[in-house]
A and B are shown apart, each in its own frame.
Chain A
Amino acid sequence: GAGVSQSPRYKVAKRGQDVALRCDPISGHVSLFWYQQALGQGPEFLTYFQNEAQLDKSGLPSDRFFAERPEGSVSTLKIQRTQQEDSAVYLCASSLVGPLETQYFGPGTRLLVL
């Protein structure tokens, strides 16, 4: 596709619900990243995939957060038992080869946990 796409664009969840956020990277991009952006802050790294391998998950805030990219293209970020502090914009980015290359961001999913 022309760019990184994410769905849904907006998600409202009740505290305790599970949510799944989808990312479609740019076609052919090997690397995929998830970031979390709280209001008024810069994006913060969550996790990184190279093809289907999750090479870095050091930014995932708790074991309630889980990401996968089983076929090396589409990725899903799952948040279990959502908490109010999970409310943020979740950004997906992809790059052609490795992490040192330019990362292109999707439009984000705005998650609100009530």
Chain B
Amino acid sequence: QKEVEQNSGPLSVPEGAIASLNCTYSDRGSQSFFWYRQYSGKSPELIMFIYSNGDKEDGRFTAQLNKASQYVSLLIRDSQPSDSATYLCAVIPSGGGGNKLTFGTGTQLKVEL
């Protein structure tokens, strides 16, 4: 089992729709969760981080965390073509792994006109 799992996609949504990106993680003690966006050929850029159960909203983006289910998601409202990118879920695991981000393989999002 991978430490962080994401559906690789591509996930295609029409412009203006809500895109829902999902991620599960295996380390139950993980405390910090991040969503990065990566355009093709570019480096990852931070979209949001979340530490507590529940929802966290920032503009068109909402991160949702459910530690009991070991599940974190990212919702993008009013999706735009410029949102087309790969979205990486990253976790800082507990214990000795606390020095590093552990990434999923990313979900490719395509927002279609």
Contacts and interface: CB of A to CB of B under 8 A. Distances in A.
Interface in B10-68: 31-32, 34, 36, 42-46, 49
A43 interface: yes
A43 B44 contact: yes
B100 A91 contact: no
A65 interface: no
A33 B103 contact: no
B105 interface: yes
Most buried by B among A44, A91, A99: A99
Interface in B91-113: 92, 98-106
Contacts of B101: 33, 35, 43, 45, 93, 103
Among B42, B43, B44, B49, chain A packs the most CB atoms within 10 A around the CB of B43
A44 B105 contact: no
Size bin of chain B's contact surface: 20 to 34
B17 to A, nearest CB: 25
Give the contact-size bracket for chain A.
Answer: 20 to 34
A45 B43 contact: no
A42 B90 CA distance: 9
Contacts of A44: 103
B44 A55 contact: no
B105 A42 contact: yes
Given A41-B106, A99-B99, A107-B42, 15 more contacts: A33-B100, A42-B90, A42-B103, A42-B105, A43-B44, A43-B88, A43-B103, A45-B100, A99-B98, A100-B32, A102-B34, A102-B49, A103-B101, A105-B45, A108-B43
Interface of A: 33, 35, 40-45, 48, 55-56, 59, 91, 93, 99-100, 102-108
Closest 7 pairs (CB-CB, A-B): A42-B103, A45-B100, A105-B43, A56-B99, A48-B99, A99-B99, A42-B105
30 contacts: A33-B99, A33-B100, A33-B101, A40-B8, A40-B105, A42-B90, A42-B103, A42-B104, A42-B106, A43-B44, A43-B101, A43-B103, A45-B99, A45-B102, A48-B99, A55-B99, A56-B100, A59-B100, A91-B43, A93-B101, A99-B98, A99-B99, A100-B92, A100-B98, A103-B101, A104-B46, A105-B36, A105-B44, A106-B43, A107-B42
